[in-house]
A = this chain, B = another copy of it.
Amino acid sequence: MKKLSIVDIANHLNVSKTTISFILNGRAQEKRIGKELVERVQKFVDEVGYKPNSLAKSLRTGKSNIIGLMVEDISNPFFAAIARLIEDRAYKNGYKIIYCSTDNDTSKTKDLINMFRDRHVDGYIIAPPEGIEEDISSLIKDGMPVVLFDRHLPNVSTDYVEIDNLFSTYNATMHLVQQGYKNIAFVTFASHQTQMQARLQGYKDAIKASGLRPVVQEIVFDQNEELIMGPIATFLKKNKNLDAVFFGTNHVGTCGLKVINNLGLKVPDDLALISFDDYDVFKLFSPPVSAIAQPIEAIADSVITVLLNKLNTSSQHISSQSIVLKTDFNIRGSSKAK
């Protein structure tokens, strides 16, 4: 059965659309509409099971109970896990999440922000790509609740949830040094994003503090995995003196493991390994790979808590909040002492 509209009800009861609308929106008394008519409308509505169109309702009230979530790439296990948990937490609090991948593409992201805006989402959770500062500033200026995560935009003052990237890579690099490794490379994606810059800096700081030489290989991201594996293979073949490699993301790490298998390298005897992010692929590798585990549940909890606070507080006086969470370093066989 097709949903009844206010017009259908009005036609059926031979009453004006405006009157029906006032009654359904609880404004009968205010508008001095007779009790008898209110009862007649209510009875009919109960019988036919009319449900108000919530899109029209959100046009009136400006509330949709929907939160827009924008991640970089939903097929990345980090973002997939975060999205799943945020959706779960939000749903338990009466909010639905609709999400999209930005592909780190500025113009697609702008386009998606406009779509969310037009669909009247109540708030935004965004892992922002580069070049999106203006659009996010404009959302904030218009009073939209926005929480960033995974990274932040240095020139935009808003709430964000992050992990302690710099300390995490510093600490894990120091572990390699303590295990006796001396030629430690950092292989990562080329990126200006805050979290990637901080990871690189943590590695560099630890290498410098240990009096070693930094060896950094930045790889251009590509959807085609072969174009990530190729440069890693070339790099490893050219730098035969390396005794350890630190992969800067789960994606680089997974590609790196494939390259290491293809080259027939023994871990950790030929090459010790550490990866940022901790997933099944690292736990199940032989030997298991030491990895920095992001606190996925805590990130999701913090993001949704900060956003719900903003949604439920009409006051604009709360200054922005940044939450930095600790990671776990899971030491496994891939970084055994030399």
Contacts and interface: CB of A to CB of B under 8 A. Distances in A.
Interface stretch (A280-288, A307-315, A321-329): A280-288
A266 to B, nearest CB: 12
Interface residues of A, number: 50
A242 B91 CA distance: 43
A11 B97 CA distance: 36
Nearest to A115: B96
Interface stretch (A27-35, A73-81, A183-191, A269-277): A73-81
Contacts of A91: 108
A54 interface: yes
Interface string A246-271: 00000000100110010000000000
Contacts of A88: 103
Given A81-B75, A87-B101, A100-B98, A284 B285 contact: yes
Contact of A100 (B87, B101, B280, B281): B87
A73 B87 CA distance: 10
A55 interface: yes
Contacts of A83: 74-75
18 contacts: A2-B142, A3-B142, A55-B59, A55-B118, A66-B115, A73-B84, A75-B80, A75-B81, A77-B77, A87-B100, A96-B100, A96-B111, A99-B100, A254-B284, A281-B281, A284-B284, A285-B285, A286-B286
